[in-house]
Amino acid sequence: MREPLTEIREQRLALFSVVAVGNAFWSQQIQEFGIESVYQNLFFGVYNGEKFGKMITEVNAFDSEQALQNICNSGGVFLTPEEEKWPKQVSSLSNPPIGLVVKGNVETLKNKSLAIVGTRNPTPYGIRIAGDFAAGFVDREWDIVSGGAYGIDSAAHRGALVAEGRTIAVIASGIDIQYPAGNSRLFDEICETGAIVSEVMPGVIAMPHRFLTRNRLIAALSQSTLVVEAAFRSGSLRTARDAAELMRPVMAIPGPINSPSSEGCHRLIGERAAELVTSVADAIELITAL
């Protein structure tokens, strides 16, 4: 069943559809002046017409009813910060989302959760550790958040599901685009008890820069972030930095000292940007102590 549109939801949906994800300028404008003022000011000449002309034209031509129908047809709902179901922890971001498109169990977004992230090219060691930690946290009634990608992400999601727990995939494309395609069955299983979260409209494909902006959502949705195998320059390190900026505990799993797959984890530990953990019990104790 499609959710009704109010004026403020309509305005949020329009800006959600045309503003680039994580845009610092528009995020600051919305936080300072409110969604209604920003929306109205687009048409009152407050913003530079030459610079923002394309955006103003798109907002003016935006069909909110059709956009909401597209979300509904894709099996999702559109969440806004004004709603009770909104995960308030993401509002702590310096550039919080204008809205979220969620498929599956929306209630899980407010649950206690751990983010598990890492390389797309893990070793068998990393796959096992990610799955074991996910299952261990599920056994302690935590949900697992990750990015739905191949590698450590998939191992974390599967570990949670095998343990009969809930998991959330924060993706960089629309909820109707199952990317990577090889995880389509995994995405279906996630939605049975957990959720898929997107910051873009259905039909929008994944782009490299969107993986970095979605990483901040993974960090923000979770009480803590665990990095399991990451290269020296890995997107997972960005998630860890985002979590640290939010004052959320960051943990990393050590690996063999000569393993390229663990260089990022060792870097975080060496820089004291993450705490070294070797067991679920260690991780739980660290999180609860902070």
Mean pLDDT score of the chain: 92
**What's the pLDDT score for residue 178?**
85
**What's the pLDDT score for residue 290?**
66
- Mean pLDDT over 108-126 rounds to 96
Report the interhelical angle of 280-289 vs 124-139 (nearest 10°). Answer: 60
SS3 content of the chain, % helix, strand, coil (to 5): 50, 15, 35
Interatomic CA distance for residues 31 and 90, integer angstroms? 13
**What's the pLDDT score for residue 206?**
87
pLDDT tens figures, 50-72: 788 888 889 888 999 999 999 99
pLDDT tens figures, 273-286: 999 999 999 999 99
Interatomic CA distance for residues 193 and 68, integer angstroms? 23
pLDDT for residue 74 is more than 60: yes
Q: Return the domain boundaries, the chain.
A: 7-77, 106-289
**What's the pLDDT score for residue 5?**
56
Interatomic CA distance for residues 240 and 269, integer angstroms? 11
pLDDT tens figures, 118-156: 999 999 999 999 999 999 999 999 999 999 999 999 999
Q: pLDDT: is 234 or 271 the higher one?
A: 271
Place of tokens 């259905």: 202
- Mean pLDDT over 230-234 rounds to 86
pLDDT band at 2 (very low <50, low <70, confident <90, very high): very low
Most confident among 10-24, 142-156, 199-213, 221-235 (mean pLDDT)? 142-156
pLDDT for residue 23 is more than 90: no
**What's the pLDDT score for residue 21?**
86
CA-closest candidate to residue 167, choices 198, 185, 142, 150: 142
Interatomic CA distance for residues 91 and 264, integer angstroms? 28
- Mean pLDDT over 85-107 rounds to 95
**What's the pLDDT score for residue 45?**
79
Amino acid 39 reads Y
CATH class of 106-289: alpha beta
Interatomic CA distance for residues 201 and 203, integer angstroms? 6
Q: What is the dihedral of CA 180, 191, 12, 67, to 10 degrees?
A: 70
pLDDT band at 1 (very low <50, low <70, confident <90, very high): very low
pLDDT for residue 49 is more than 80: no
pLDDT band at 89 (very low <50, low <70, confident <90, very high): very high
Q: Count of residues for the chain?
A: 290
pTM of full prediction above 0.85: yes
pLDDT for residue 35 is more than 90: yes
